[in-house]
Amino acid sequence: MYGRIVKLGLLLCLSAGFPLGVIAQKEAPKPKPEVKDKIKPPTYPAPPSFPREPNGTNEKAIAADPNVAIKLCIAQGEIKINGTETNEVRVFVRDGRKFEFKSLEKNAETGKANWIWITAAGSPGRAVGPSANCLSGESVEIDMPMGGSIMLDAQGAGTEIDSIRKATLNILRGSINVRNVVGGVGAVVHRGDVTVESSSGAIDVQATAGNVMVFDVKPGQVGDLLKVRSSGRGNVVLQNVSHRQIDVSSISGNVSFAGKFLSGGIYKFKTSAGSIRMLLPEDTSCKVIASYGFGTFDSRLPLKIETENESEGGKSLVGRIGKGDTTNVSITTTSGSIGISQQGQKFELKF
């Protein structure tokens, strides 16, 4: 755990632009164009207030199918969702509203619920509209079968999910940490950081105002896409990812990739006002299509340039690292820098 924290801290520092070394530029960069329309972080109304129950604690359990699907919304409270080997769903709400299970579908053979809606019980009090059925409390903990999936909407919470099959998340406020999810992750976070690690399947993560960090992930089947979008100032960090299709975009954050490009892969990295850093192994083989506008480009891996253009609209090049026969890497930045370095070298790229 300590090593992961140190690694994460270093990657965030690198993405934020802290220099660990200097690269000499071939020419002085041109002035960056003036940005007329600056992107402002979105604002959101405060989450609704809910009355807390006098007893403070509510706990219930229901027998469930091993592949149960669960849907719920949470208006307030820290959230922890854990996969277990027990075929039941157990919910614990501390200092919050009472809740109930609604079995939407049952397994025809076993009679156990395979689709469950967890909803607030009784009168919603001051909660109205979309939040009327939402759980709330100081914390909400859910134990569920490891083969199950979760569909969660949360208005204000920090969320941890560990060891389930699939997670689909829509979080208004609060950071999320997803680990050991083997059947795919879909997450939209409007205000907070996102971390996905040791997971597999198709992964689609979007952050409006926060950083996105993805570690040690792989596809569940051929063709699974890893897609990451940051529409604010957040940075994107990818390390040891094994998807052959990766699509990363950011508005004004930096993008860092540390890993290996696989044969036949299609990789796209784009940022408008940030820089892109890549740490690659010595035996990398790929075709590089780089567009760097008013920024700079530098590769510390041998790069054979095939075409290079410079115009009033910016600069671009096409080149190959190694044979570069079947792997395509597209790198685009409007006003930042692009840097490629070999893993294990003592120096790092400066942005």
Q: What is the mean pLDDT of the chain?
A: 85
Q: Which of 142, 181, 136 is nearest to 157 (CA)?
A: 136
Torsion-angle region of 237 (φ positive above 0: left; ψ -120 to 50: alpha; else: beta): beta
Structural tokens at position 276: 């892109």
Supply the pLDDT for residue 209.
Answer: 86
Supply the pLDDT for residue 131.
Answer: 76
Task: Write down the domain spans for the chain.
Answer: 254-346
Residue 226: is its pLDDT beyond 60? Answer: yes
Question: Between 156 and 145, where is the model more confident?
Answer: 145
Reported as a pLDDT band with limits 50, 70 and 90, residue 345 is: low
Q: From CA 265, how far away is CA 157, in angstroms rounded?
A: 37
Task: Give the pLDDT confidence of 54-75 residue by residue, as tens digits.
Answer: 456 899 999 999 999 999 999 9
User: What is the greatest pairwise CA distance in the chain?
Assistant: 72
Q: Which of 268, 272, 262, 275 is nearest to 247 (CA)?
A: 268
Q: Which of 249, 154, 269 is nearest to 207 (CA)?
A: 249
Supply the pLDDT for residue 129.
Answer: 60
Residue 4: is its pLDDT beyond 80? Answer: no
Burial class (CB in 10 A: 0-12, 13-18, 19+), 26: exposed
- The alpha-helical segments, DSSP class H, found in the chain are 2-16
pTM: 0.82
Supply the pLDDT for residue 311.
Answer: 86
Please say whether the beta carbons of 282 and 262 come within 8 A.
no
Q: From CA 53, how far away is CA 72, in angstroms rounded?
A: 19
Mean pLDDT of 299-308: 95
User: Coil, helix or strand for 171?
Assistant: strand
Please say whether the beta carbons of 144 and 126 come within 8 A.
no
Mean pLDDT of 310-332: 92
Supply the pLDDT for residue 112.
Answer: 95
What proportion of the chain, given as a percentage, has pLDDT over 70?
80
Task: Give the pLDDT confidence of 75-86 residue by residue, as tens digits.
Answer: 999 999 999 999
Residue 246: is its pLDDT beyond 60? Answer: yes
Supply the pLDDT for residue 325.
Answer: 83
Q: Which of 47, 98, 91, 86 is nearest to 71 (CA)?
A: 91
Question: Between 30 and 243, where is the model more confident?
Answer: 243
Supply the pLDDT for residue 271.
Answer: 94
Supply the pLDDT for residue 314.
Answer: 86
Task: Give the pLDDT confidence of 247-290 residue by residue, as tens digits.
Answer: 999 998 999 999 999 999 999 999 998 999 999 999 999 999 99
Please say whether the beta carbons of 145 and 84 come within 8 A.
yes
Residue 38: is its pLDDT beyond 70? Answer: no
Q: Which of 261, 280, 270, 283 is nearest to 341 (CA)?
A: 280
Task: Give the pLDDT confidence of 165-209 residue by residue, as tens digits.
Answer: 999 999 998 999 999 999 999 999 999 999 999 999 999 999 998
Q: Which of 351, 197, 202, 175 is nearest to 278 (CA)?
A: 351
Mean pLDDT of 47-56: 51
Burial class (CB in 10 A: 0-12, 13-18, 19+), 263: exposed
Task: Give the pLDDT confidence of 96-114 residue by residue, as tens digits.
Answer: 999 999 999 999 999 999 9
For tokens 């009472």, what's the residue?
98
Residue 321 φ/ψ, nearest 5 degrees = -105, 125
Please say whether the beta carbons of 196 and 187 come within 8 A.
yes
CA atoms within 13 A on the CB side of 255: 30
> Helix, strand, coil: what percent of the chain each, to 5?
5, 50, 45
Beta strands 159-162 and 176-179 are parallel
Supply the pLDDT for residue 47.
Answer: 47
Residue 33: is its pLDDT beyond 60? Answer: no
Supply the pLDDT for residue 23.
Answer: 34
Q: From CA 312, how far away is CA 308, in angstroms rounded?
A: 14
Structural tokens at position 288: 């590089």
Supply the pLDDT for residue 351.
Answer: 42
Q: Where are the beta strands (DSSP E) in 18-148?
A: 57-84, 88-94, 99-106, 113-120, 135-145
Amino acid type, 11: L
Supply the pLDDT for residue 261.
Answer: 96
Supply the pLDDT for residue 294.
Answer: 85
Q: Which of 256, 228, 287, 209 is nearest to 43 (CA)?
A: 209
Please say whether the beta carbons of 235 and 12 come within 8 A.
yes
Residue 37: is its pLDDT beyond 50? Answer: no
Supply the pLDDT for residue 256.
Answer: 96
